[in-house]
Structure 1
Amino acid sequence: MSAVAAMRLPEQVDLSGFINLLQRLQMPHRVAEEAGEQVLWVPDEHLAEQVRALYALHPHGDTNLELQPLADEQRALPGFFQQLRASLMTATVLLLTFVVAAITLLGDNLAAISWLSFVDYRVQGDYIYFSYLNDTLHSGQWWRLLTPMLIHFGILHLAMNTLWYWELGRRIEGRQGPLMLLLLTLLFSLAANFAQYLHAGPSLFGGLSGVLYGLLGHCWIFQRLAPSPAYRLPPGVLVMMLAWLLICMTGIFELLQFGAIANAAHVGGLLAGCLTGLLGGLWTRRRYA
């Protein structure tokens, strides 16, 4: 994504107060002198609009300004359809997830799920017989490496995963674009599915949660290296998600017979997300340093 010139101002304009304000708000930027002008560069047009609006309100900075992602008090929060138009890739993934949930009857239609599971299987009586990954891939069914993320077991499983994908996916789509969100989603799905298969062997698992932990790790590490309002998560979210991961890993839910949880998929997705956040954050910080 190319840098955008948010503002061009004469050399004699004192930008020190405003730059201090941008630093307090952790908005990525850099200032360069070009042909007798001061040029304020930011990563994308969305941030450029925010910077211009902020400068119109506080050209000299404001030491009393409350620290929050957007400082434009006069701008109304976008409605649902505005958010939808701005997050088409996020919405597309969720729509596909809902369609698969309907076709698979939220996990009850084993015949439909067998086309989307990580490895193929057949049901005989009360038993499920799984194939191995090599056999599945030799038959050309490569889509199985990704499609388990679309499978959900129960309405609560679906609701929780889709709500979190809507929250995290929109942030990445708005900050790094729809193509990057798609690539990250597929990468985290692949990492999560392989991690679960390597840990548990041929089995039936699914859901967006491995992808969610990847998105979480990406936002977390990226934000620490290249702070951005888009990746500033609400207080306590990171702690809650990591605490939930640790609780699940204790096996308490299996002990209480609430069903098995694909903990290896969560860990695999989280590690992959931390890696992409590290690479993306370092690249962005170096670019705008």
Structure 2
Amino acid sequence: MNVVEVMRLPLGVDLSGFVALLRRLEVPHRVVEEGSEQVLWVPPAMAAQVLELYRRYPDGNADVEPVVDAGLPASAPARPPLKEQLRACKVTAGMLLLCMAVVGLTGLGENLSTLSWFTFQDYQVQGDYLYFVPLAQSLGEGQWWRLVSPMLLHFGVLHLAMNGLWYWELGRRIELRQGPWALLALTLVFSLVSNLAQHFIGGPNLFGGLSGVLYGLLGYLWLYQWLAPTPLFSLPRGVLVMMLIWLVICLSGVVGQLGFGQIANAAHVGGLLIGCLTGLLGGLLARRKLSA
């Protein structure tokens, strides 16, 4: 269930009556203690109504009618409308739009002339061969975007669809909880580290996609949630297990042998490791803040 922070109140404020009212109205909610405050979380689509409800009935009221007086439906959808989600997750949506724009420019990797604008290393085409320009030379010419731009490349519709869906699922959790700048910074750092890992392990080659970033986001959410639990970072156990199993399958080489193309395994592992490290640091800082 997607939730947003509605209000913060001192621990001394008694919310029991209001929480009982929310339960009677079947409003999805969570109350979490953070340091000396208690935080109320509800689905984004219901935030305004819950605030108004608290303004009118801070102590709860057994006579409130679910629809007429409270202005709240008896049962709310788990997710707000897509338009509202897009408005609240601008970085997540913007990154996906960038990926689709680059897919259009590069023709899913078929247009070698435009593809070279986004690859980790620039290259020259001579016949059937690609001759890569040393990375140091490109960076010396000011092409610093190459350190992160491969995340925008995708080499098939399925590749784009799967990465896009997972980035939407993982990225918006961070953006809703920690803000757009946090998600943008994490995305760029995870892209940088995963690209460098793939370059140093795999040597000059064509690679791209959001997969390294996705494993970074997964590791970040995993360790952060373990140390400083927060409702938005709670992932179903099956998600973590499935993605780790997929990582092992890719590392085994089975995917390439089945004809699905080469997998940037170093980028996946590098992304997961840096994601776990940042999640560990972020979770420890949040935990210290809560106990201060």
SS of the residue 1:122 aligns to: strand
**Once the 2 structures are TM-superposed, how far is the Cα of residue 256 of structure 1 from its aligned partner?**
2.5
Task: Select 1:115's aligned residue among 85, 102, 117.
Answer: 117
- TM-score (normalised: structure 2): 0.80
* 2:126 alignment partner AA: Q
Amino acid of the structure 1 residue aligned with 2:127: G
Q: Distance in 2 between matches of 1:107 and 1:210?
A: 18
* Paired position in structure 1 for 2:146: 144
From the superposition, tell whether residues 129 and 175 of structure 1 become closer, same or farther in structure 2 (CA, over 3 Å). same
- Judge conservation of contact 1:28–1:288 (CA < 8 Å) in 2: no
Contact 1:217 1:271 in 2 (8 A): yes
Q: Quote the residue 2:164 is aligned against.
A: 162
Give the aligned partner of residue 234 of structure 2.
232
SS in 1 for 2:131: strand
Partner of 1:95: 97
Give RMSD over aligned pairs: 3.4
Contact 2:31-2:38 at 8 Å conserved across structures: no
Residue by residue over 1:207-258, the C-alpha shift from the partner in whole angstroms, topping out at 9 and shown as x without a partner, is 0010000011111111000111101112300000000000000111222332
Contact 1:27 1:229 in 2 (8 A): no
How much has 1:42 moved relative to structure 2? 7.3
**Which string of whole-angstrom CA distances, capped at 9 and with x for unpartnered residues, describes residues 130-149 of structure 1?**
12221221222111001000
Would the alpha carbon gap of residues 102 and 58 (structure 1) be closer, same or farther in structure 2, given more than 3 Å must change? farther
- Give the match's secondary structure for 1:259: coil
Structure 2 segments unaligned to the other structure (5+ residues): 20-28, 61-72
User: What does 1:65-214 correspond to in 2, within 5 Å?
Assistant: 74-76=75-77, 77-214=79-216
Aligned positions, number = 263
TM-score norm. by structure 1 comes to: 0.80
| Deviation string, structure 1 residues 62-105 (Cα, Å, up to 9, x no partner) | xxxxxxxxxx9733331110111111111111111100000100
Q: Supply the AA of the counterpart residue of 2:147.
A: L
Identity of aligned pairs, percent? 55
Runs of 4+ displaced beyond 4 Å: 8-11, 25-28, 52-59
**Alignment-mate amino acid for residue 29 of structure 1:** E
Which deviates more, 186-195 or 231-240?
231-240
Unaligned runs of at least 5 residues, structure 1: 19-24, 33-38, 60-71
Structure 1 pair 146/30, CA: closer, same or farther in 2 (3 Å)? closer
Write the distance in 1 (CA, Å) between the matches of 2:15 and 2:93: 43
